[in-house]
Amino acid sequence: MAERITGHTELIGLMAYPIRHSSSPAMHNEAFATLGLDYAYLAFEVDNSTLEDAIKGLRALKMVGSNVSMPNKTVVGQYLDELSPAAEMCGAVNTIVNDNGKLIGHITDGIGFMQALKDNDIDVIGKKMTICGAGGAATAIEIQAALDGVKEISIFNIHDKFWDNAVETVKKINEKTECKATLYDLDDKEKLKEEMDSSYLFVNGTGVGMKPLEDLSVVPDKSFFRPELIVVDVPYSPLETKMRKMAKEAGCKTMNGLGMMLFQGAAAFKLWTGKEMPIDHMKEVLN
Ligand code: NAD
């Protein structure tokens, strides 16, 4: 690293708190080194109380850009000059691009999800999907899927603090895209089965299956899965959730959350550098 950094090296940040556990710095710096690009990616402990100053710093230092994670994703938009259509609709930003002094906010989580599907030869465009979740990850997926041309999305969530967010998401999708979105109560398992039965793709976009909810599943049992249904998990720790294990046993093709994580990073990498992340190499390094 000491040999690689020069007076010309450009800086890209990651602003979040807590953030020291993140794998993004290792991922991006490995990709820069592999392609011989003169950038460095560093994580900064920034929360809502220091976010405005951090963005001023990004401008003053002429940084190339930054990733933004919790608790800043839904707050940072007000300090930027422009938002991508998806970031505007999600009300969240995970990537900032400094375009000659103009700061543009993007959300690449949904782009990453859609790209991970493509990478697994899953084509949901023009088809119906059912998804559980109304938090940050699920909302980004739902909005991007609708923008990209998914025909119909059935969204399920429990009646918690995310419910109103789901109501908003459904409204925005129905008003601003060609996709038809409908919201259902996740406690209505009969409806869940009905919607899964008429879907090409089923996605768990909740925290269920991930620590500390690793013993739970949004789908009660194997009878909900037919072999033709493609089943995708957004959580990735542990990689094998109870839900995906059941789906596999029922004969379904499945995908874990790692692809979405890799491709959301690749989309940000492309926005900053104009180059494709070396995906095959990154898959080897991440595994
Ligand atoms: P969030 O806190 O914004 O949303 C949590 C969601 O889980 C909400 O829809 C909530 O209603 C639901 N939920 C919580 N407890 C539940 C329960 N007991 N039963 C049913 N639903 C419940 O979280 P998020 O940022 O959207 O993340 C959701 C999951 O996706 C997490 O596991 C996170 O680690 C993962 N994630 C993965 C990626 C990726 O790249 N693969 C990216 C972001 C998040």
The reply to whether ipTM tops 0.95 is yes
Provide the b/e sequence for 176-206 (b: ≥16 CB within 10 Å): ebebebebbebeeeebbeebbeebbbbbbbb
Compute the average pLDDT of residues 221-237: 95
Query: What is the percent of the chain with per-residue pLDDT over 90, rounded to a whole number?
Result: 93
Instruction: Look at ligand 1, atom 40, and give the residue with the nearest C-alpha.
Output: 261
Compute the average pLDDT of residues 177-203: 98
To the nearest 10°, the Cα dihedral for 245, 69, 22, 63?
A: 140
Encoding tokens for residue 115?
């790209």
Model confidence at 211, pLDDT cuts 50, 70, 90, reads confident
Instruction: Look at ligand 1, atom 16, and give the residue with the nearest C-alpha.
Output: 208
Encoding tokens for residue 226?
């037919």
Give me ligand 1 centre to Cα 150, in Å.
21
What's the pLDDT at 142? 98
Give me ligand 1 centre to Cα 210, in Å.
8
* The residue to which tokens 């040999």 are assigned: 3
Whether residue 191 lies in the annotated active site:
no
Compute the average pLDDT of residues 122-143: 97
* The residue to which tokens 């390094």 are assigned: 285
What's the pLDDT at 236? 87
What's the pLDDT at 238? 82
What's the pLDDT at 202? 98
Q: Does residue 1 have a pLDDT over 90? A: no
Q: Find all residues with CB under 8 Å of 171, minimum gap 6, and list them.
A: none
- Ligand 1 neighbours, Cβ below 6 Å, are 109, 133-138, 157-158, 160, 162, 186, 206-208, 210, 213, 218, 234-236, 257, 260-261, 264
pLDDT digits (tens, 9 = 90+) for 37-94: 999 999 999 999 999 999 999 999 999 999 999 999 999 999 999 999 999 999 999 9
What's the pLDDT at 286? 75
Instruction: Look at ligand 1, atom 23, and give the residue with the nearest C-alpha.
Output: 135
Q: Does residue 213 have a pLDDT over 60? A: yes
**How high is the mean pLDDT of the chain?**
96
Give me ligand 1 centre to Cα 137, in Å.
6
Q: Does residue 121 have a pLDDT over 70? A: yes
Q: Find all residues with CB under 8 Å of 154, minimum gap 6, and list them.
A: 128, 129, 130, 131, 181, 182, 184, 195, 199
Give me ligand 1 centre to Cα 180, in Å.
23
What's the pLDDT at 239? 85
| Catalytic-labelled residue, pool 56, 73, 128, 283 | 73
